[in-house]
Structure 1
Amino acid sequence: MQTFHLPDVGEGLTEAEIVSWHVAPGDAVAVDDVIAEIETAKSLVELPSPFAGTVGELLVAEGDTVNVGSPIITVVPADAATAAGGDAHEPTGPGQHAETEGGGSVLVGYGTGGEAKTRRRNKPEKPVASSVGVIAKPPIRKLARDLGVDLSEVRPSGPSNEVTRDDVMGHAQQASVFRNISTPEWPAEREQEIPVPPKASPQVAPDARIEEVPVKGVRKATAAAMVGSAHTAPHVSVWTDVDASRTMEYVKRLKSSPDFADIKVSPLLIVARAVLWAARRTPMINSAWVDGDDGAKIHVRNYVNLGIAAATPRGLLVPNIKDAQDLSMRELAKALERLTLTAREGKTTPADQQGGTITITNIGVFGMDAGTPIINPGESAIVAMGAIRQKPWVVDGEVRPRWVTTVSGSFDHRVVDGDAMSRFLADVAAILEEPALLLD
Structure 2
Amino acid sequence: MSLVLAGLFVVFLVMGIPVAIVIGAASMTALNLSGVPLMVVPQQMFSGINSFAFVAVPMFILAGDIMAQGEISKRLVAFADSMFGFIKGGLSIVSVLAGMFFAAISGSGAATTAAVGASLVPELKRKGYDPAAAASLIAASGTIGVVIPPSVPMIIYAVIAQESVAKLFLNGFIPGVAMGIGLIAIALVQGHRRAYPRGTPFNLSTIWRTLLSASWGLMAPLLILGGIFSGVFTPSEAAVVAVNYAIIVSLFIYRDLTLKGLYQIMMRAGVTTAVIMFVIAASSVLSWALSSWQVPSAIAEYALSLSSNPYVLLLLIMALILVTGVFLETASALIILTPMLLPLAMQLGIDTVHFGIIIVVGLAIGMVTPPVAINLFVASTTANLPIERITKAVFPYLMALIFVYLMIAFVPLVL
**Which structure is richer in relative contact order (CA contacts within 8 A, separation 6 or more)?**
2
Higher strand share: 1
TM > 0.5 = no
TM-score by length of 1: 0.28
Higher helix share: 2
